[in-house]
Structure 1
Amino acid sequence: MQTVNTYGDSLAGIYDMIYPTTPEADYAAEYISKLAPEGSVLELGVGTGRVALPMAERGLKVHGVEASEEMLRKLKENDPEGRIQSSLCDFSEELPEGKFDVTVNPLNTFCMVPDAEKQLNTLRLMRERTADHGVVILETYDPLIYHGLADGTKTEARHLKDGQVGIYSTYVDRLSQVAVVVQTFLGSDESPGRVVELSRYVWPSELDLMARLVGLRLRGRYAGWHEEPTDHHTSRFISVYEVAGDDE
């Protein structure tokens, strides 16, 4: 089974094609900038800079963490001015020293952490790196996307661009809350072929409990970066946590 860094290395060459630039990245950057009074942001799973680059364009001092050397190489290609500081590490085990206004984990990257204990440690590290006036932000998907599959399996094909196709076969273990997604890319000599992704989905109430255990409290949960309200149709959650007081 592939690790976080080999997964990233495999997808680095086509990552910007799978997750193309959309207004969503700008919405995220604008929202985060309003919560960073001193302009410092730590982004976990910075990838090729999808969100970090718009943040840097707004004058934020961004430190991006990434487990894949190839992803960081692509980030440097996308950021020739070197505006984004970066660190190579597994964010479930360590984070760069310092305190930040905002510690953020966008685009479901938190779910790439394979088990609950490691997810809890990730939140603990995020709390430790967040200034007392700051916030922790996580973007996660609705667990029913996987947990609600009738027989726990699904296969779908997506057109990417220039005739390239991605085939995604999903297998879900509901007891461990893990979805195994086998991704097969066709249509280009540059495609990585077959890549396996593990995603441990979290329920919002479970995430709130983890947060409380490490000294965070929920400030708000939204369906998008404009603080849209959530309902039973919400397909993703933007959860914003603030540092709890010592007596909480």
Structure 2
Amino acid sequence: MDYDIAAYGERRPDYDSMDWALRHDEDEASRFLAELAPGGTALELGIGTGRVALPLARRGLKVVGVEGSPSMAAGLERNVGDEDVEVVIGDFADVPVEATFDLVYCISETFFLLPTQDSQIRCVQNTAERLADGGLFVVQAIVPDHDLYCGKQSTGTRQVGEQSAIISARRHDRAEQRVELQSIVLKENGNTFYPMLYRYVWPSELDLMAKLAGLTRVSRSSGWRNEPFTAASGEYVAVYRKN
């Protein structure tokens, strides 16, 4: 697969109805984020159709989002009512906005969609430049599953129903920490393919990227409820402050 910043969203026109691909944690996420910058300004990297941005705006923040997919951005615009939300089309590694923000956030492993370590480092550095003094950068991500990635390829079943099934096939480049993923929805009336290319990041690697950009880690928890992060945690929410 070749990298295309728009590809993820353009291949998912039915994103809002893809329950199997969504976390359904928007209430918890928006509450957590709003408490970090009450009444302030926020920037979402990879805003999609506004799953978290819209409830965050309803909690009193002005939200700007960067989105690579015109289809996703159009979906967001259809969803916006009275909320103070706007979207900029572009590569979120570049953080193509001019303003500064109290809060920048990237959720649901969206950070992994940047396909190289260089692009991920560039994203964190550009984020730091867009933060106000004392501003916060929040990343939600999974802890890579060593058993899943120890081989060069793997398949797994995500969901099974009476008339459908969803399977995932992965090809893994261990040296680059890159994965080519194909999620396949099998139905009686035809199959649908959702390709994805991503580069996973270990929590300690993200910490180092932040440190190089002049950010200090404030916390790392296992979720939006500030559950303790342990060796058994499968995901995390990391918060970094601009020094």
Residues 128 and 38 (structure 1), Cα distance of their counterparts in 2 relative to 1, 3 Å cut = farther
C-alpha distance in structure 1 between counterparts of 2:23 and 2:162, whole Å:
16
Aligned-partner SS, 1:74: helix
Partner of 1:225: 224
State how many pairs are aligned: 241
CA distance in 1, matches of 2:9, 2:190: 15
Equivalent residue number for residue 214 of structure 1: 213
Q: 1:87 maps to which residue?
A: 88
Map Cα deviations across residues 157-210 of structure 1 (whole Å, 9 max, x no partner): 33388955432101211111111111222338797x323211111111111111
In structure 1, the gaps of 5 or more residues are none
The equivalent of 1:196 in structure 2 is 195
Q: Which residue of 2 aligns with 1:73?
A: 74
**Which stretch of structure 1 is more off in the superposition, 7-16 or 63-72?**
7-16
Name the stretch that deviates more: 179-188 or 220-229: 179-188
Taking a change above 3 Å as real, the CA distance of residues 147 and 218 of structure 1, as seen in their structure-2 partners, is: farther
Does structure 2 retain, via aligned residues, the 8 Å contact 1:35–1:134? no
What secondary structure, in the 3-state scheme, does the structure 2 residue paired with 1:4 have?
Answer: coil
Instruction: Say what the alpha-carbon RMSD is for the aligned residues.
Output: 2.2
Question: For residue 237 of structure 1, what is the aligned residue in structure 2?
Answer: 236
* Paired position in structure 2 for 1:105: 106
For the 8 Å contact 1:147–1:177, the answer to whether it is kept is: no
Q: Over residues 60-91 of structure 1, what are the superposed CA-to-partner deviations in whole Å (9 max), with x where a residue is unaligned?
A: 11111100000011112222446311110101
CA displacement at 1:215 relative to structure 2: 0.7
- Give the letter aligned to residue 120 of structure 1: I
Does structure 2 conserve the Cα–Cα contact (< 8 Å) formed by 1:13 and 1:190? no
3-state SS, counterpart of residue 84 of structure 2: coil
- Summarize the Cα distance change of 1:127–1:164 in structure 2 as closer, same or farther, 3 Å threshold: farther
Q: Contact conserved, 2:139 with 2:237, CA < 8 A, in 1?
A: yes
Per the TM alignment, residue 59 of structure 1 is displaced from its structure 2 partner at its CA by: 1.6
CA distance, structure 1, for counterparts of residue 201 and residue 105 of structure 2: 17
Are the counterparts in 1 of residues 95 and 127 from structure 2 also a CA contact under 8 Å? no
Sequence identity of aligned pairs in percent? 33
AA of the residue aligned to 2:138? I
Shift in alpha-carbon separation, 1:30–1:170, aligned structure 2, 3 A? same
Counterparts of 2:143 and 2:195, CA distance in 1: 21
Compared CA separation, residues 83 and 50, structure 1 to 2 (3 A) = same
Read off the aligned partner of 2:86 and give its amino acid letter.
Answer: Q
List, as ranges, runs of 4+ consecutive aligned residues in structure 1 with deviation greater than 4 Å: 160-164, 188-191
CA deviations on 1:209-236 (whole Å, 9 max, x unpaired) are 1111111011111100111111111011
Distance 2:138 2:92 in 1: 15
2:56 corresponds to: 55
2: distance between equivalents of 1:221 and 1:185? Answer: 34
- Distance change >3 Å, CA 128–CA 150, structure 1 → 2: closer
Q: Does the 8 Å CA contact 2:39/2:60 hold for their aligned counterparts? A: no
Compare 117-126 and 203-212 and name the one that shifted more: 203-212
- Paired residues for 1:98-137 under 5 Å: 98-137=99-138
| Closer/same/farther in 2, CA of residues 21 and 170 from structure 1, 3 Å limit | closer
Deviation at 1:8, TM superposition (A): 1.1
Tell whether 2:13 aligns with 1:12.
yes
Secondary structure in 2 matching 1:11 = coil
